[in-house]
Structure 1
Amino acid sequence: MKFIHAADLHLDTPFVNVKSFSKQLQNNLQKSTYTAATKVFDTAIRERVDFVILAGDTYDNTQRSLNAQAFLKNQFTRLKENNIQVYLIYGNHDYYRNNFSVIEFPANVHIFPETVSTETLTSRDGLKVGITGFSYHQQHISDDMAQNYPIREAFDYQIGILHGSVGSDEYAPFTVNALISKGYDYWALGHIHKREVINENPDVIYSGDTQGRNPNETGEKGFYLVTVLNQRTTLDFIASSSYVWTKQIIDAVSDDNLDSLINKAMKFLDTETPELISFTINNAQRLDPEIIRAIQRDELLTYFSHQTLNGVMYQLTLEFNQEQRLQNIDQKYWDESAEQVFDLNDIKEMDQKLYNIDLIREHLNDPEFMQSIKAATQNIINQKHIGEES
């Protein structure tokens, strides 16, 4: 038996903040989620899989554009013609709304309702398979939905589909032990855009998204081709990204000029495959003030926007470091102040309406985002401190 586990296709991702890119690159980015999705379905047909699992957020939002629906209907019809089933759940971005879809999908597409339910099929090699899941019916689900999944039934192979996250939040929180206790063979997870094998035997797997959507979603994205043979499950990762987001660091030295910085950046931009690269110039305090001002006027970004390279300079950040570390007492007070200033509870209380916005709440609850805010604040302080010393 073979199946594909994919999640978070996010068709129609808007890709904001790319207006400085060429029109061709902007168009290619807008198409990239569709290009990645097409690779999912092409692979399913080429590998003659029994079925495809789409574990939530197939669309980027609950409005589900006509173009996205027509695209999926066409792809699902291709799968039907090849005797391939589709098992789809809706997530927090494209949550379930009765009778909302404008276009009806072919009969091989099985969409799970808002209550946990189980679909069954018999694979080409004769395995009786159970697939259990549910679709979001609203944007946020704080209930532990894993408790509603039944204990393993009389199947040769049972799969759970769940769009959620480990721990306590508003996206169907669960514990790994709770999933394992169900006795299933495979858990196909969605929602987290980072590929991760949480547990083996049984497999509890995040496939990640199929196309990185912003600079924080770095690295190759894709999906899993899963093979079950002689009661053994093996996973093959299939890359599907049109563009890969990466981060690179340039170390500045005191005699750097714009030309030398261009040469340093070129070593990263001359790539074999398309990359969107966020650059950080480390130790920017070593640069001449005129060079710093030129960079802050986006002159390097503009220069590279006119170059024809596989690597694209998406972002350029100056990182100011103190050549001498803070005195121990200063560092102590900074650390203590940072804990107070960046307290998430205080931020929530300052503007509850702002925190209620889904995108903002997701960012604020992301520890890496809060850490980046702290780092940016320290960077501003360092730049000001250096300016006062010069």
Structure 2
Amino acid sequence: MKFFHIADTHLGAIPDAGFAWSEERRSEIWESFRSVVAKADREEVDLLLIAGDLFHRQPLMRELKEVNYLFSTLKKTKVVFIIGNHDYLKVDSYYLDFPWSENVTCLRGKECESVVFEDLDTEVYGLSYHTREIKEPKYNDLQPEKKAGFSILLGHGGDAKHIPIDRKKLLLSGFDYIALGHIHRPEMIEPDRMAYAGALEPIDQNDIGPHGFIEGEYNEGKLSISFVPWACREYIPLELDTKECPTNLAFQETVRMRMAAKGMQHIYKVLLQGYRDPDIVYDLDACRKLGNIVSVQDESVPDYDFERLMRVHAGDIAGRYIQTLYHKDMSDTERKALYYGIHALLEMRG
């Protein structure tokens, strides 16, 4: 029996609103979802499991129809999904009485329920959100009823406001596979047993690293799972040291080269750190225009010659400030504090 485990597709999300690539990202989220459904069909996967947050917010009727059409194209694959905290079941939700294709099961109860697929000797458990938050640890005491040879728990949560999870306790529950959603970074919690698929596509700049889905195969009592990278793009931190960026032009060229090496399609978070020549000013606005850059932070500090400054400013407040704090064996923290302080004083002087 072969399955795909996806989660947090967040259809309808518009990442990085206001940036040039934002609308394109909305289309890519739909395209990644469409393409993974197509892959399940090509490979004749038995189950497509979706662990919550299919949509980024309450789905429109036309959006449900689009998704249902995709599911209906699956010739062999059965779909089982739960509803997460983003698209939770409101009293007027279109989810409530939507006529899904016959190969689709939505486990939409407030409490855990299950569906058995006799031809696969598999039972899938899950519950859906009917409110934005569920603070009760609803999964911790669950146990499969063993109505089939292979049991799967579809879960969505893992923080204080969204079904807190005791991982050790859940691993002792007796489920053969625990397919989780809500946490956007993929994580193999227990090899071949319990995993967060992560968001199919990264949704915001905190979703750094590869994204995709979990592929699993259960055969003769043994389960093997693996992560499949699938996202169109990644958010990539780009950390630079001032040693490689001695001037503003060198800074821009280094950013450009690093982005080209990793892939210009990705989205970057640039961070510059270290001690710099006090005469150098980095043009952060120019840096942002080099490609898909969602943030630029300059945490560099001017590498002042404090002994020279102390002589130049002898008798004024800047000189007295340096004389009070400066010593040759300063820690890095003390040095930075002195840099920031003297920089502020010199700026005040114009």
TM-score when normalising by structure 2: 0.82
2:164 counterpart residue number: 173
1:356 counterpart residue number: none
SS in 2 for 1:266: helix
SS in 2 for 1:146: coil
Return the match for 2:254 from 241, 257, 264.
264
Q: Is the 8 A contact 1:245 1:277 kept in 2?
A: yes
Query: In structure 2, do the counterparts of structure 1 residues 260 and 164 end up closer, same or farther at CA, with 3 Å as the change threshold?
Result: same
SS in 1 for 2:139: helix
1:274 counterpart residue number: 265
Query: In structure 2, do the counterparts of structure 1 residues 140 and 326 end up closer, same or farther at CA, with 3 Å as the change threshold?
Result: farther
Aligned-residue offset at 1:147: 4.3
User: Could you say what the CA RMSD is over the residues aligned between the two structures, in angstroms?
Assistant: 3.2
What letter is aligned with 1:65?
L
CA distance in 2, matches of 1:380, 1:74: 60
SS in 2 for 1:104: coil
Query: In structure 2, do the counterparts of structure 1 residues 300 and 174 end up closer, same or farther at CA, with 3 Å as the change threshold?
Result: closer
1:65 counterpart residue number: 60
What letter is aligned with 2:224?
T
CA distance in 1, matches of 2:169, 2:242: 50
Q: Is the 8 A contact 2:237 2:269 kept in 1?
A: yes
Aligned-residue offset at 1:223: 0.2
CA distance in 2, matches of 1:157, 1:326: 68
SS in 1 for 2:49: strand
Aligned-residue offset at 1:171: 0.6
1:9 counterpart residue number: 9
1:45 counterpart residue number: 41
1:213 to 2:213 alignment: no
What letter is aligned with 1:256?
P
Q: Is the 8 A contact 1:256 1:287 kept in 2?
A: no
What letter is aligned with 2:131?
Q
Query: In structure 2, do the counterparts of structure 1 residues 99 and 78 end up closer, same or farther at CA, with 3 Å as the change threshold?
Result: farther
Return the match for 1:314 from 294, 299, 305.
294
1:388 to 2:335 alignment: no
Query: In structure 2, do the counterparts of structure 1 residues 326 and 115 end up closer, same or farther at CA, with 3 Å as the change threshold?
Result: farther
Return the match for 1:183 from 148, 169, 174.
174
2:30 counterpart residue number: 34
TM-score when normalising by structure 1: 0.74
CA distance in 1, matches of 2:71, 2:242: 52
CA distance in 2, matches of 1:214, 1:220: 13
Query: In structure 2, do the counterparts of structure 1 residues 280 and 384 end up closer, same or farther at CA, with 3 Å as the change threshold?
Result: farther
2:308 counterpart residue number: none
Aligned-residue offset at 1:286: 3.1
Aligned-residue offset at 1:285: 4.2
Query: In structure 2, do the counterparts of structure 1 residues 145 and 326 end up closer, same or farther at CA, with 3 Å as the change threshold?
Result: farther
Superposed CA offset, 1:331-365 (max 9, x none)? 8xx99xxxxxxxxxxxxxxxxxxxxxxxxxxxxxx
1:300 counterpart residue number: 287
Q: Is the 8 A contact 1:32 1:243 kept in 2?
A: no
SS in 1 for 2:28: helix
CA distance in 2, matches of 1:11, 1:254: 41
2:320 counterpart residue number: none
2:319 counterpart residue number: none
1:138 counterpart residue number: 131
2:240 counterpart residue number: 250
Query: In structure 2, do the counterparts of structure 1 residues 44 and 282 end up closer, same or farther at CA, with 3 Å as the change threshold?
Result: same
Aligned-residue offset at 1:6: 0.5
SS in 2 for 1:263: helix
Superposed CA offset, 1:245-286 (max 9, x none)? 101112224983332222111211214462101111212643
Aligned-residue offset at 1:230: 1.8
Return the match for 1:118 from 114, 120, 135.
114
Query: In structure 2, do the counterparts of structure 1 residues 242 and 232 end up closer, same or farther at CA, with 3 Å as the change threshold?
Result: same
Structure 1 or 2, whichever has the larger Rg, is 2
Tell me which protein shows more helix as a share of its residues. Answer: 1
SS in 2 for 1:177: helix
How do 1:223-238 and structure 2 match up within 5 A? 223-238=213-228
Runs of 4 or more consecutive aligned structure 1 residues displaced over 4 Å after TM superposition: 321-327, 379-385
What letter is aligned with 1:257?
T
Query: In structure 2, do the counterparts of structure 1 residues 382 and 2 end up closer, same or farther at CA, with 3 Å as the change threshold?
Result: farther
Say which is worse superposed, 243-252 or 312-321, in terms of deviation: 312-321
Aligned-residue sequence identity (percent) comes to: 19
CA distance in 1, matches of 2:151, 2:243: 58
Return the match for 2:122 from 129, 145, 169.
129
1:157 counterpart residue number: 150
Query: In structure 2, do the counterparts of structure 1 residues 30 and 177 end up closer, same or farther at CA, with 3 Å as the change threshold?
Result: same
Q: Is the 8 A contact 1:162 1:187 kept in 2?
A: yes
What letter is aligned with 1:191?
H
SS in 1 for 2:258: helix
Q: Which runs of 5+ in 2 are unaligned?
A: 305-324
Q: Is the 8 A contact 2:14 2:23 kept in 1?
A: no
CA distance in 2, matches of 1:283, 1:57: 41
What letter is aligned with 2:298?
L
